[in-house]
């Protein structure tokens, strides 16, 4: 990597939030909506990811996640390089129309 080159990173958010009561479900849905509005894509119901342009952007979005935490449950973040994210394997039974199994990396335009 050359000096000054931007390194793309992926920030992943994993969470386990209670949803037994209506207020808990509302808080969980608000958290999911926050993630979506902040540019995260849903990989699974409680796993979201977004690409970030450099470490500063990762830290900015971690701060945003921290400031929008629901009052119950657990939330974890993990940052991985674009290359590591590209090695993720998707294994499906019957693939929904929005996903395909393969080794292709997401292309950003």
Annotated binding site: 16
91 within domain boundaries = no
Mean pLDDT of 78-101: 83
Specify the CATH number for the domain of residue 44: 3.30.70.240
Number of structural domains (the chain) is 1
> 58: closest CA among 11, 26, 98?
11
Annotated binding site for Mg(2+): 16
Q: Where residue 92 falls among pLDDT bands split at 50, 70, 90? A: confident
2 within domain boundaries = no
**Is there a contact between 52 and 10 (Cβ–Cβ < 8 Å)?**
yes
Query: What pTM was estimated for this model as a whole?
Result: 0.81
Determine phi and psi for 75, rounding to 5 degrees.
-135, 135
Parent domain of 81: 8-86
pLDDT in tens, 15-57: 999 999 999 999 999 999 999 999 999 999 999 999 999 999 9
37 within domain boundaries = yes
Residues with Cβ within 8 Å of 74's Cβ and at least 6 positions away in sequence, in order, are 15, 16, 17
74 within domain boundaries = yes
């Amino acid at each position: 990597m050359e000096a000054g080159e931007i390194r793309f990173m992926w920030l992943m958010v994993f969470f386990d939030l209670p949803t037994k009561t209506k207020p808990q479900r509302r808080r969980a849905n608000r958290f999911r909506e926050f993630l979506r509005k902040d540019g995260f894509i849903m990989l699974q119901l409680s796993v979201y990811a977004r690409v970030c342009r450099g470490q500063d952007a990762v830290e900015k979005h971690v701060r945003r996640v921290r400031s929008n935490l629901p009052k119950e449950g657990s939330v974890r973040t993990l940052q991985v390089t674009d290359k590591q994210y590209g090695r993720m394997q998707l294994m499906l039974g019957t693939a929904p129309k929005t996903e395909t199994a393969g080794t292709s990396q997401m292309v950003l335009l």
